[in-house]
Amino acid sequence: MSDTIVDQTEIERRTIRKSDWVACNSAFIDCRTPGSDKKENYAFIGGGVSQNAEQFINLTEEHGFNTGAAGMPNGISNNLHLHFTAETFINLGGEFRLRWGVDGKQGEYVSTDGDIVTVPTWIFRGFTNEGPDEGILYTVLGRDNTGGIIWGPSVLREAEGYGLHLTADNRLIDTVAGDVVPDDVALITPMKQHYIDELTTYTVEDMRKRVIQPGDRVYSDHALLCNALPGGGAQLSLAIGYGMSEDRRQVPNVHEPHSFNLAWVRAAEDEGILRHRHDKPQELLIKSGRWELTLNGDPSSTIELGPSDAFSVPAGAWRAIRCVEAGASGTGELLVINAGDDRVYLEWAPEVVDAARDADWMIDPNGYLAPVGVMVTATEDD
């Protein structure tokens, strides 16, 4: 793997702090519908499914996934719509009632702080903020091109009454603002009933299997080669996909391919993940505490990140993370998002490999942790 050096300009460009969030209040066709007219849509990595060409995007290059957020005051809803690729919510604080089915009556789930909810593709879903005004649902969407969304039939009909139309090439036409309905591109019409009848149904029990509450997390304290070393004591909990765990017995809560994988990392102060790299684009999202990220193996390339801050680490870049201030729970938490459905194989810095070997740990040919004392007795294939 060739070295990827992240210079200071690139570090600044790839840092997405909470203070850098820029809301769009007219990202979707229901932006004038009462009860949905105060939504704020954010696009951090990629444009997501926004239907407004003026949507601000913090980082436009392809990662294999999109990230963004939905913010809205208490009582405001995001109306029923359907996605073609994965849509995963990370609740960063607040209470949101999620509902699904073309009429929103197939089932409901109330999400609270720390939940991960991954919604199946090809079902209608919507949600309402029933908690504080500052509640935020962070979103991870599958693939670079999400294909846009399909709105529930009632949503399209109601929006038309407020002068809003959606074209087949995903442009929002606002006739109240002076836009002219094009005659060279068709307008989106409601999905026909016989197609709706063919959509998969999901019970509440089905959906609960796709929810990862804080109490559902299973942390491993030997998921990484550095775990036996001072400063490398971060614990890993797989959420979606096998990701970067080197614990051969660790399994995720959700296995289904998403085009990305998610894992929680927690660490006490002065602990973290020692220097490593891999060949996938990665986003680090801070949930609690304050963390230092050091790039290039160079202490001068260190930044500090706090709650809701994120950083996009390019493939091939050396990185190390350390919790410098834990929360009231005694640990800081962050979410690791890696591109791809396959396992992520880490390359550890030479000093980590050597120190781990001295502590009787190495990586076996399958990419998992193993005792050196066992591995040295293995015979080589002829």
Q: What is the pLDDT of residues 25-37, one digit of tens each?
A: 766 666 666 666 7
pLDDT score, position 178? 84
Lowest mean per-residue pLDDT among 51-55, 248-252, 333-337: 51-55
Whole-model pTM: value is 0.92
pLDDT score, position 33? 67
Three-state DSSP state, 300:
helix
337-358 burial, b at 16+ Cβ within 10 Å, e below that, comes to bbbbbebbebbbbeebbebbee
Q: pLDDT averaged over the chain? A: 93
Residue extents of the structural domains in the chain: 8-212, 217-374
More confident call, 167 vs 143: 143
The arithmetic mean of pLDDT across residues 248-275, rounded, is 98
The arithmetic mean of pLDDT across residues 348-375, rounded, is 98
Alpha-carbon span 319 to 331, nearest angstrom: 20
Alpha-carbon span 363 to 310, nearest angstrom: 29
Assigned superfamily of 8-212:
Jelly Rolls (2.60.120.10)
Alpha-carbon span 49 to 36, nearest angstrom: 17
DSSP-assigned states of every residue in 323-344: EEE--TTSSEEEEEEEESSSPP
The arithmetic mean of pLDDT across residues 345-361, rounded, is 98
Which of the following CATH numbers is that of domain 217-374: 3.40.50.800, 3.40.50.970, 2.60.120.10, 3.30.43.10?
A: 2.60.120.10
**DSSP code of residue 214:** G
Alpha-carbon span 157 to 171, nearest angstrom: 17
Q: Residue 88 phi/psi, 5° resolution?
A: -120, 130
Long-range contacts from 293-297, C-beta under 8 angstroms, 24+ separation: 293/319, 293/320, 293/321, 294/319, 294/320, 294/321, 294/322, 295/6, 295/11, 295/319, 296/5, 296/6, 297/349
Is the pLDDT at 155 greater than 90, yes or no?
no
DSSP-assigned states of every residue in 1-14: -------HHHHHHH
At 381, is the pLDDT very low, low, confident or very high (cuts 50, 70, 90)? Answer: low
Strands 282-288 and 310-313, bridge-based pairing: antiparallel
Three-state DSSP state, 122:
coil
At 45, is the pLDDT very low, low, confident or very high (cuts 50, 70, 90)? Answer: very high
pLDDT score, position 172? 79
Q: Are 67 and 45 in contact (CB under 8 A)?
A: yes
pLDDT score, position 28? 65
Who contacts 236 (Cβ-Cβ below 8 Å, separation ≥6)?
A: 219, 220, 223, 224, 244, 245, 247, 250, 263, 264, 265
At 185, is the pLDDT very low, low, confident or very high (cuts 50, 70, 90)? Answer: confident
pLDDT score, position 24? 85
The arithmetic mean of pLDDT across residues 268-297, rounded, is 98
Q: What is the pLDDT of residues 189-213, one digit of tens each?
A: 889 999 999 999 999 999 999 999 9
Is the pLDDT at 214 greater than 80, yes or no?
yes
At 171, is the pLDDT very low, low, confident or very high (cuts 50, 70, 90)? Answer: confident
Q: Are 178 and 102 in contact (CB under 8 A)?
A: no
More confident call, 165 vs 268: 268
Lowest mean per-residue pLDDT among 38-52, 172-186, 218-232: 172-186
The arithmetic mean of pLDDT across residues 301-307, rounded, is 98
Percent above pLDDT 70 for the chain: 96
Is the pLDDT at 158 greater than 90, yes or no?
no
The arithmetic mean of pLDDT across residues 285-305, rounded, is 97
pLDDT score, position 75? 94
Q: What is the pLDDT of residues 220-251, one digit of tens each?
A: 999 999 999 999 999 999 999 999 999 999 99
At 113, is the pLDDT very low, low, confident or very high (cuts 50, 70, 90)? Answer: very high
Alpha-carbon span 350 to 240, nearest angstrom: 29
The arithmetic mean of pLDDT across residues 326-350, rounded, is 96
Is the pLDDT at 49 greater than 90, yes or no?
no
Terminal alpha carbon distance of the chain: 27
